[in-house]
Structure 1
């Protein structure tokens, strides 16, 4: 199925460890936009933190507060404030347990100095620099120091809750997550930090937020690629069309995802998008073409067999025969799809044989080309032109169809992480589960239905204009 939207978690995903967006990611987002693919974020962060990315990266949407508050650059799509009753109960719990707590308002987190510092750019940077074995000691010492300087006054929160609150952030260890779920069964408890829990409305999540965005823009959740690294990304990674876990992500995130890429410091986002053929990842060794479809197929061959030809070179007779046979198989499939009866198909095949004989007789009348590369390229270019001509006469836009086929081909890697080849022809083989998970026909069918509906709507509009 063609990908129509891509969304990123922010911390540990869109941002690297020094809290900046890598240049490869910035370039990738521009390429996605050029293809008409929507780009956004799905995060536990609030709107005030996200706004700078919305502007700087020209993002199309933001699922903030784990799906509680959703907006575009122009308007708020959805806002689901927590009930006052639930908020009072959580604040009372935090007060009794002497826990730091912050409330997510439309403008940002309000409450705990510890949480506010921990979620700040400075705090996030420091936390990345602390060795993991020191984390608990540093956490306990830091909380003790802050409390002595300025302990949290929970009573002040009762005034804040008079405004809409979309998320609660409560300092709690990972082991306490289940305790909170039992204490507050009417809320969803999720985590994006080892030190705190996020409390939101029941049945809400990043995935639920993405579904709402899809209804707004007109795409299905299976047409989404999502990137994440933490526990609050698990449902999203498992529920979208393609879930990608960052190399620096938790083991749970990697298990939930369809694919694990490099870390947030090693161009992980760009590499995954290139792996699935949504962008072309340039390097200094291999050339790239102005034809984006060519670049995608080149990425496919680099992934499958690692052999790329940078200097133009003709196929030898055996290789040329194999390539021609691949095309013949597709032509036969084309005729088979066109049949109305078995007799029609047999007649079409007989016609194909006659056409082949006629073509042989025709080309034999001319002397063989002294330049094999020129002759092969000229013939292939004509084939490409004929293919586009066929799409033109059918009234079908081939770009999204090509993208679906490319995504399917990129799924031909076997469980051992390698491509397998037919020993005789060198054709790339398909894994046993390829048809179940990657076959492009369902996505092509959906895309053709979309193009037909769109064309019918245009035709209806033209008819109405004539009547007017």
Structure 2
């Protein structure tokens, strides 16, 4: 069976118990993308929570609010708000029965302070402090403390926006009675203290199926990971449904495969089991810096050289790395000269003078740091200064970096390998690589940024 897309639930699945993503999972996501497989999330959380995570992990799309809202980092693909009559009915029910509720909008979750607090890492830690045998009185006292700290929200104000999902504090025993009261809604649960309420025909599965039609894959060509009851339908329908080791018994019952827990590299191990990635514990790391990971991917493709343990450059290799950087500095000055040879010569002469001045300055300084620390300190200053130059020129580097990365990855030859100049050891460009050259995309993105800036600050008189 060919797998074209992989979906992860968040809490208890993609997230470990510290509400972060393990390095093995980060590496697995990089490898999935390298193998041409879409990667997305399917969660009861909202878009405002998920977007930073999507950008951090380079995820392709997200099914949020249990299928009610679907988007990519660049655009909203699908949205299906709840019927406002049903929403008002549920608010009246909650007020009448003194129940905590929250309303999910495109911009965030509003309503109950208790429910929003329950989504935080602090709440998870406090929940861990209270043992499972703690009496209901103690747990209810904890809730009342939170209620006193959290002000009440104005539901009428929230109702001005589309509502995609509602959340209510309810125990498992209370689920059936609420379901009977709201037969037009589907009730799902991702934790022990609250329920999610969405339209009857909605769910993570329907959201994934909609994405499949949009991107050209079938539900049987997916792998879905989950741990809670709201993951049930997508795990049953997926080509391979994977239950985390920490999943509920009901999820494990329907899963095709039960992997290790979310704190034991369960995702990477399951993907390795199905032959989608190679899991080698402790052999590689993935940074939280997305750009670093993309450059690391580039080096793996080009020459297979990456380093997993911090080491310092020896003198000759350090000279090569400096050579690459100096060439870019000279190109930077050439662009500043506007191709005027006289101005360019003066700028290069000044660069030589600056190098001589820097040599004297470095020689005068004390250097108590070791070789690796000194090199990394200098490289980080270079990186910081580069960002500073972009800041002072008013340029957002995000899309431009992606354009450069795409063009660099296009330097693979038809034989699937990179080719190098025998003398300079620089990467050669395949025939017709010019169509991947980044300059045109950079220019287009800069023009876009200028248009946006002029709309925001029309009073500025800036020449192009």
Q: What's 2:49 paired with?
A: 49
Q: What's 2:375 paired with?
A: none
Within-5 A mapping of 1:227-266: 227-266=225-264
Within-5 A mapping of 1:181-196: 181-196=179-194
Q: CA deviation at 1:180?
A: 1.3
Structure 1: distance between partners of 2:124 and 2:47 = 18
Q: What's 1:130 paired with?
A: 130
After TM superposition, the score normalised by the length of structure 2 is: 0.59
Structure 2: distance between partners of 1:44 and 1:209 = 12
Helix, strand or coil: the match of 1:133? coil
Aligned-residue RMSD, C-alpha: 2.2
Q: What's 1:224 paired with?
A: 222
Within-5 A mapping of 1:418-457: none
Moved over 6 A (4+): none
Structure 2: distance between partners of 1:195 and 1:127 = 11
Deviations 1:347-406 (A, max 9, x none): xxxxxxxxxxxxxxxxxxxxxxxxxxxxxxxxxxxxxxxxxxxxxxxxxxxxxxxxxxxx
Structure 2: distance between partners of 1:239 and 1:209 = 12
The answer on 1:65 being equivalent to 2:65 is yes
Q: What's 1:111 paired with?
A: 111
Closer/same/farther in 2, CA of residues 185 and 266 from structure 1, 3 Å limit: same
Q: CA deviation at 1:132?
A: 2.0
Deviations 1:7-35 (A, max 9, x none): 10000000000111000000000000000
After TM superposition, the score normalised by the length of structure 1 is: 0.59
Q: What's 2:445 paired with?
A: none
Deviations 1:299-336 (A, max 9, x none): xxxxxxxxxxxxxxxxxxxxxxxxxxxxxxxxxxxxxx
Q: CA deviation at 1:196?
A: 0.5
Closer/same/farther in 2, CA of residues 138 and 77 from structure 1, 3 Å limit: farther
Structure 2: distance between partners of 1:170 and 1:190 = 11
Helix, strand or coil: the match of 1:192? coil
Contact 2:61 2:72 in 1 (8 A): yes
Q: What's 2:10 paired with?
A: 10
Closer/same/farther in 2, CA of residues 229 and 284 from structure 1, 3 Å limit: closer
The answer on 1:157 being equivalent to 2:155 is yes
Contact 2:24 2:281 in 1 (8 A): no
Closer/same/farther in 2, CA of residues 79 and 247 from structure 1, 3 Å limit: same
Deviations 1:272-310 (A, max 9, x none): 00011111111479xxxxx99xxxxxxxxxxxxxxxxxx
Within-5 A mapping of 1:2-401: 2-134=2-134, 136-149=136-149, 152=152, 156-283=154-281
Contact 1:222 1:240 in 2 (8 A): yes
Helix, strand or coil: the match of 2:162? coil
Contact 1:247 1:263 in 2 (8 A): yes
Q: CA deviation at 1:236?
A: 1.0
Structure 2: 5+ residue stretches without partners: 284-299, 302-464
Structure 1: 5+ residue stretches without partners: 286-290, 293-468
Q: CA deviation at 1:147?
A: 3.4
Contact 2:62 2:70 in 1 (8 A): yes
Helix, strand or coil: the match of 2:117? helix
Q: What's 1:315 paired with?
A: none
Structure 1: distance between partners of 2:273 and 2:239 = 15
Structure 2: distance between partners of 1:211 and 1:135 = 42
Contact 1:103 1:169 in 2 (8 A): yes
Structure 1: distance between partners of 2:249 and 2:158 = 37
Structure 2: distance between partners of 1:78 and 1:143 = 35
